[in-house]
Every structure is written in C-alpha cells, then in structure tokens.
Chain A
Amino acid sequence: METIDFVMQGFAVALRPENLLFGFVGCLWGTIVGVIPGLGPLTGLTLLLPLTFKLDPTTAIIMLSGIFYGAMYGGSTTSILVRIPGEAASIITCMDGYAMARDGRAGPALMIAAIGSFVGGTASVIGLMLFAPPLADLMLQVGPSAEFGLMLLALLILSFVSQGSPVKTAVMVLIGLAIATIGLDPLTAYPRFTFGSVRLADGINFVAMALGLFGVSEILLNLEEITKVHVIRPTLRSLTPRWKDLKDSAPAIGRGTVIGFVFGFIPGISHVVSTFVSYAVEKRLSNEPEKFGTGKIEGVAGPETANNATTGSAMIPLLVLGIPAIPATSILLSALLIHGVQPGPQIVRDHPDVFWGLIASMYIGNIMLLILNLPLVGLFVNLLRVPYAYLAPGVLLVSVVGIYSVNANTTEIAIMAVFGVIGYVLRKASFDPAPLLLAIVLGDRMEISLRRALMISDGDWWILVQGAMSKIFLGALLLLLVLQGSTWLLGFRRKNAAEIDKI
C-alpha cells in the first residue's frame, strides 16, 4: 500500500509540465542518438549532461534517463532499415531485422521491435519499483568493509565481461583508479598528483573526461569512415504486423524481458550481452533454427525486448548501491552527484522526489517512445541522410559549449580534446575505455571504504572478511576468479593440444 502511495507521489512529480517537457526532450534526443550510428546512449548523455546543470535535480535526472532508454529504442531503427546498428545493443537485430526489411517487411519488424522495447522497458520499471526499495533497506545495514568487497566485485565482474582482452581491461581499470586518486586525499586532504595546481585539487573534471573519451573519440573514429547508406523506407500502413507475427513474437518478448532484466544487474556490457543471449535462446527454442538470420521475427523481438529490459534493472545498482552497471549509467551517476543527490541505499528515504519521480517518468517515457518511434520512424530515418561531415561539427559545437558551461573554464575544452584523442588511440589499439570510466567513478569510494574499515578495526585486515555481506561479496569474488582461471586454463590446454595435433 505504501509503495502505491509513493508511486502516486512519483506520478505527481513526473507529470509536472517541466518534467514532462524535459522527459520528452530526453526521449527525443535519445532516439536521435540511437538512430545515428556512432552516437550511442553514452555519447548522447555526455553531450547533454552539462546543459542540465541549470535544471532542477529531478528534472535533470528525468531528462538524462530519457536519453538512456530512448537510445535503446532508436538503435533498432537503423539496424532494421540500413543494417547499421545505431548502438552496440542493436547489433544482433541487424541479422533478422534487415532480412525482414529486404523482404518488404520492415514495418512489422519496426513495430515488433517497438512493442518489445515497450514491454521490456515497462516490465523492468515495475521490477525496479518492486526490488529497489527492499534492496535499499538491506544495503543500509552494510558497513564499509562489505562496501569495499562490493566495489571490488563490481570491478572484477567488469573486467571479465568487458569487450577486449582481460589484461587490457585490467589496465583500463587501473588507469581509472589512478585518475581517481588525483586531487585531495578524501580522508586527510593531502594533495596527490596536483603539482601545486589549485584546479587539480578537485581532480580532473569527470564530465570533460567522459565527453572526450566517448563523445569526441567516437566522432573522430567516425570521421575516418564517412560512408553513404542505402535506406529502406517503410510506409505507415506497412507498419501493422500480422496476427502470426504477434503470436510468434509474444513468447520471445516474454523471455527477452526476463533475460534483459536479469542481465541488467551485471556490471559491464550487460545490455549488449543480454541481446546475444536472448538471440541464442530464441534460436535454440525455435522449431526452425536454420531460418534465423533470414528474417525470423523472434530474432528481432527477443533481443530488442532484452536490451530495453536492462534499462530498468541497470538502474537498481545505480540508485541503490551507487554502482553503475553499464557505462551509460556512470554518466547518470555523475549527474546525480553533480545535482547533490547521493546515490545509495538512502536515496529512497532522502530523495523520494527523485527516486519515485524517476520511476514514474520511466513509465511515461516508455509510452512517449512508443508513440515517437512508430509514426515518426520516417523522420528519424531521414537523419541518416545528413552527411556526417555536417553532423560532426554540429555535435562538436554542442560539446564545446556544454563543457564550457560546467565551470566556465576553457581548460576543460582542451581536456576534452586531449581525452578525445586518447580515447581514439586507445580504441584503435582495442583498449575499451568504458572500464576506465567506471573505475574513476568507483575508485574514490573503494579507497574510502577500505580505509574507513581499517580505521574501525584498528588496522585489522580480517574485518574485510567478517560479516555476512562481506563474506557473500568476497565469496562471489573468489568464485569468479576460480571460474575465470579454470576457463583460461582449459582454453590454454585446448589451444596447446590443437597445436600439437597440427604438428
């Protein structure tokens, strides 16, 4: 009963005209960045983050969340019509979605993708609403030692599921932790790596780094590959799916919802992994697995539902634990902090307007996106006709003004440019910069929790393995290490055996 009261309170917040307007702007911008290849949710969020600083915290978070889940909707459009994934979570949709479009069934593919996204997105918001408050209550009892275990576990999972080799991911995590140490020591205020500069006392501006590593580097990479695209244009009438399409996709949508919701909790690239898992499950359960890749509607329905279902569950670790499960949510985390909202178990109690307003706005946002993505699909597709040579300067202009508006400091434009080039070079050498960003976000808290735990225990390191929660987190950590070690060993032995066979 209490939850219903809170939800009603949330709707009262979300339905305020300014929240509706900025929620809509977020959904629209999210769809646009999702449609344009190379500009995913991360870039979309970093570009508009500085512009939210003048907004009320609740309005800003509603708008930024709209960008996050809006991009998941938009990504499918280009996968289906052009065979270019708008963002990474829509890669798998290219296979059957584009095949359907070539057979003249682009409309049903788009419609089922939109319905699946709506169902997955809405169901995951219900999950967020049901699971987040009890988890927050549980986490309130967690002390600094268990918090340290949790941070360590999050970083370890991230290293395992991230793109690229685990060693390169570890390097990125360590660089992120190193950057997090720049500035005043959080406990003693001792200056670390500030080189006497007052500006570095607060560390390097996170927004400038994120905007450079993701926004600018993405643009630089895309500038090398300016290509012309062939677009299939569906008519509004052709959008209506057949009864058989709906019947075939309903179970896939159900399964995609569950897979996406579960994967959303896992730090790393869960929104991408969930789509591949969903596709694999659909293929395995199908009576005609050989037809996957030739235009099976389940191959669109499952993955598109799964990637949207991750959006709600990815919000749970973000809001309740203060841990961003996927890179895009690390931008949301920094937005919350910039607006004076400390994510963590106390958010439900201390900032009910933000928490419940966000949940209610996600219900409304999903409806907005369904309406936006069906009749306006032609309009969004036209964005692909704008040559990248014109689009890139426009996006860079928004970045420059946006980053300047944070602190009215031109040095941050230069920092953004330098990190843009660093991100570009790292990605060229297959180093994924996403773990770096997450490590910067978690680094500070990890250090504080470790040192606080040691202070409490008077220097006894055993405190880190005492208490039920610490044991659970460290047990999971050890299990993961053993699993990863045995997988590596098996792979190594198989590779050696194969090489011996060759000889």
Chain B
Amino acid sequence: MNVRPRRLELTIAAIIFALGALMAGSAWHMPMGTTSLPGPGFLPLAIGILLTATSLTVAARCAMAAGPAEEPTLLGHRFIVVTFAALLGVAWLFERVGFPISIFLFMFVLLVALSPLNWWRAALSAAAAVAVSYVFFGVVLGLNLPRTPLPF
C-alpha cells in the first residue's frame, strides 16, 4: 500500500491526539491531589494535555508545509503483513500446541513467504530450525519451553 507521507503524519498526529485526549479524560477521574501536593492523576493529566497540544502542532506543521510533490511511502509490504500475522499466530499457538509445532509452523510460514524455497525445502529447514533452537534454548540454556500435547 502506498501512502502520501503527509497523510501518514496527519493520521499519526490524529491517533496521538485521540490518545492524549483519552489519557487526560481518564486522568481527570483519578485523585488529583493539590497543586502543591500532586496525586496520582496529576502527571497523567499534564502528559495528556501536552500530548494533545504537541500532536496538534505536528498536524499544523504538516498541513502548512509547502513542498514539491511527495514521493509516496510504501507501507505494509506483503512480507510485513505475513510476518506480523506469523508473530500473532505463534503467540496464540505457543502454549496451545507446544514449542516444536508452533515454531515449526512459524518458521515454515516465514520461509515459504520470504525466501525462494519451495514448500518441502522450507519444511525441512523449519524442522532443522526447531531441532537446533530446542537444543540451544531448551538443553543448553535450560529454558522452560511449552511441551506439545501430542503423544510424540
């Protein structure tokens, strides 16, 4: 997906503005203490207000910046989407199906998507990665890795 840098900056500024406003709004309900002895809500409120103000400054500077036609920025190449999905997938599967299967699937998906390997070479490489990483993390470093519920 190609986006204009200015549009990207404005979107980020809008998100930060919303976060700042949300923070200030939530902090308002916390014990504020007094100006001489601030309570737990004082700093979050100040940060929230400053965040909204600075995000508005970013947006204003971005909107006012006159310049030549911008080169669009590539955002969310398919490799990035696959990698992000693989990371979320391994987070979900790690304790459910155990270290060997989740890491095998994680490596297999990434190798098929990112490298020129065909599926069976990717499967072999993923299996090798599982074996090597198990020996390193599980045996050498003694980390407690989740076991597979399967009988093998």
Contact = CB atoms under 8 A, between A and B. Distances in A.
Interface of A: 51, 54, 165, 167-168, 170-171, 174-175, 177-178, 181, 185, 187-188, 190, 192-193, 216, 219-220, 223-224, 387, 389-390, 392-394, 396-398, 400-401, 404-405, 408, 410-411, 413-414, 416-417, 420-421, 424-426, 428-431, 447, 450-451, 454-455, 458-461
B73 A192 contact: no
A417 B84 contact: yes
B16 A410 contact: no
B88 A414 contact: yes
A431 B94 contact: no
Contacts of B75: 425, 428
Nearest to B92: A410
A185 B31 CA distance: 11
21 contacts: A171-B55, A171-B58, A174-B54, A177-B43, A178-B19, A178-B47, A188-B31, A190-B31, A220-B80, A220-B84, A223-B114, A224-B74, A390-B115, A393-B107, A393-B115, A405-B137, A416-B87, A425-B8, A428-B73, A454-B38, A459-B35
Given A390-B125, A414-B88, A429-B9, 17 more contacts: A51-B143, A174-B50, A174-B54, A177-B47, A185-B40, A193-B44, A392-B83, A393-B106, A393-B129, A398-B133, A405-B144, A410-B92, A420-B84, A425-B75, A429-B12, A454-B37, A454-B38
Interface of B: 5, 8-9, 12, 16, 19-20, 23, 26-27, 30-31, 34-41, 43-44, 47-48, 50-51, 54-55, 57-58, 61, 73-75, 77, 79-80, 83-84, 86-88, 90-92, 94-95, 99, 103, 106-107, 110-111, 114-116, 125, 129, 133, 137, 141-145
Given A220-B80, A454-B37, A167 B47 contact: no
B26 A193 contact: yes
B74 to A, nearest CB: 6
A420 B87 contact: yes
Nearest to B138: A401
B54 A171 contact: yes
Contacts of A175: 16, 19, 51
B6 to A, nearest CB: 10
The B interface is mostly helix, strand or loop, or mixed, namely: helix
A48 to B, nearest CB: 11
Contacts of B143: 51, 54, 401, 405
A397 B80 contact: no
A398 B16 CA distance: 32
Contacts of B79: 220, 223-224
A401 B43 CA distance: 36
Contacts of B12: 425-426, 429, 431
A216 B37 contact: no
Contacts of A220: 79-80, 83-84
A21 B102 CA distance: 32
Contacts of A170: 54
Nearest to B87: A417
Most buried by B among A54, A390, A397: A397
Given A178-B44, A393-B107, A393-B110, A413 B90 contact: yes
Contacts of A398: 133
Given A54-B143, A389-B115, A431-B12, A171 B5 contact: no
Contact of A174 (B5, B26, B51): B51
The 7 tightest CB contacts between A and B, nearest first, are A459-B36, A417-B87, A185-B40, A413-B91, A389-B115, A393-B110, A190-B40
